[in-house]
Structure 1
């Protein structure tokens, strides 16, 4: 993988059997999965985290169940042990998850479901800078307001996750197309150290990727449907 490329894997649909993915999770992940009261939410968690392990393992040539993670100061998972160095991130919303991989540059990915019933205008006024809140509120209908809100929120979440900080740091930062605005307050100057782009998402979702550093990057997008099937066993050669 090139240093200036991000691989993004879309995980959507039923996927493999839950038990197959649960088997590669570590003790902490299994405990978190078991804490879900809803079977639907538990399945979504297992699918997202099991897919993450299989995707990263295939890229690194490692057994999925042997990957080890540590958490940064604000909870961002990072590869630990002999696999550290490669950068990854995971996001999931409703029925869709996304995994982002980078060779060395810290990366963040986020996917958001578009929710037409959400009061997107009020949420934007509460969390976004005035210009972005106005952009959301100026949409002609509830669906377009929800789409604009989800796109901006995904961009801010991706920026937060690449930075490894708290979401409150990024909600106030404008995330326009192109470079950050020149008049950023000093407290938000950290956001200049990241590049940000939208990525395609399934219908009803919006997604974005952020990468540390000033250099431009490309995105290679894939769809994950399950771990590779094991090679069939060879029949023993007939004995003379």
Structure 2
């Protein structure tokens, strides 16, 4: 499995090139952003996703078509398909995960020390995880722990293709869910979650089916490959 780091780049020519390979729906979503920074980062993330998938399939980036699952998870469809992919972006960072044989979920979260991590954890996480966030020594450590937990949960949810509310209530330590997962969340036993490297100020995780090879190769995406 491959994980690609896509960093924000203030390059008008690159953004224009990537905008050219997006489909109509992606362009509409980009245009909906009021912030120029957010719009640029969206184009970079989704343009990079298309180039990464195209490179794996031998396809033109603009020829990739997407089919969405019941809860919106996209996968390559139509003529160019045969790999599983997932995209996450937060702040100035995006990550793309690509797996040839198994569904995959990836999530990157920016650590936000000003966030009320304790209140958020109490609202969304199981009690033992909310207590773990509270026990961290200070706001920065609490924000860091919260971001790690959220990234694990969202990666798990995205691999499964379910609703985020399902994943947030599952306690997810590194390597997978614990044995005491409630019956309603038994689906989580089919996956394993792994922390992965992220830039300073971010936390990230990937999730794969339990039987998948956990070996991951990491890449930095610097732009479209020369023709």
Q: TM-score range by the shorter chain?
A: over 0.9
Aligned counterpart in structure 2 of residue 9 of structure 1, from 4, 13, 34: 4
Secondary structure of 1:207's aligned partner: strand
User: Which residue number in structure 2 is paired with residue 24 of structure 1?
Assistant: 21
Aligned runs of 1:129-148 on 2, under 5 Å?
129-148=126-145
Calculate the TM-score normalised by the size of structure 2: 0.96
Dislocated runs of 4+, deviation >4 Å: none
- Give the whole-Å Cα distance in 1 for the aligned partners of 2:96 and 2:212: 21
**C-alpha deviations, 1:150-171, integer Å up to 9, x for none?**
0000000000000000000011
Quick check: 1:174 aligned with 2:195? no
* Structure number, greater radius of gyration: 1
Aligned counterpart in structure 2 of residue 111 of structure 1, from 94, 98, 108: 108
User: Which residue number in structure 2 is paired with residue 51 of structure 1?
Assistant: 48
Secondary structure of 2:67's aligned partner: strand
Larger deviation: 72-81 or 178-187? 178-187
Secondary structure of 1:218's aligned partner: coil
Question: Could you tell me whether the CA contact under 8 Å between 1:111 and 1:208 is conserved in 2?
Answer: yes
- Give the whole-Å Cα distance in 2 for the aligned partners of 1:67 and 1:20: 16
Secondary structure of 1:83's aligned partner: coil
Secondary structure of 1:195's aligned partner: strand
**C-alpha deviations, 1:116-168, integer Å up to 9, x for none?**
00010111111111111111111111111000000000000000000000000
Pair 40,111 (structure 1): closer, same or farther in 2 beyond 3 Å: same
Aligned runs of 1:87-166 on 2, under 5 Å?
87-166=84-163
Calculate the TM-score normalised by the size of structure 1: 0.91
Secondary structure of 1:174's aligned partner: coil
Question: Could you tell me whether the CA contact under 8 Å between 1:115 and 1:146 is conserved in 2?
Answer: yes
**C-alpha deviations, 1:162-218, integer Å up to 9, x for none?**
000000001110101234222221110000001110110011000000012334411
Pair 216,76 (structure 1): closer, same or farther in 2 beyond 3 Å: same
By relative contact order (CA 8 Å, sep 6+), the higher-ranking structure is: 1
Question: Could you tell me whether the CA contact under 8 Å between 2:76 and 2:84 is conserved in 1?
Answer: yes
User: Which residue number in structure 2 is paired with residue 205 of structure 1?
Assistant: 202
CA-CA distance at 1:88 after TM superposition: 0.2
Aligned counterpart in structure 1 of residue 70 of structure 2, from 63, 73, 80: 73
List alignment gaps of at least 5 residues for structure 2: none
Aligned counterpart in structure 1 of residue 225 of structure 2, from 220, 224, 228: 228
- Give the whole-Å Cα distance in 2 for the aligned partners of 1:214 and 1:93: 29
List alignment gaps of at least 5 residues for structure 1: 1-5, 231-240
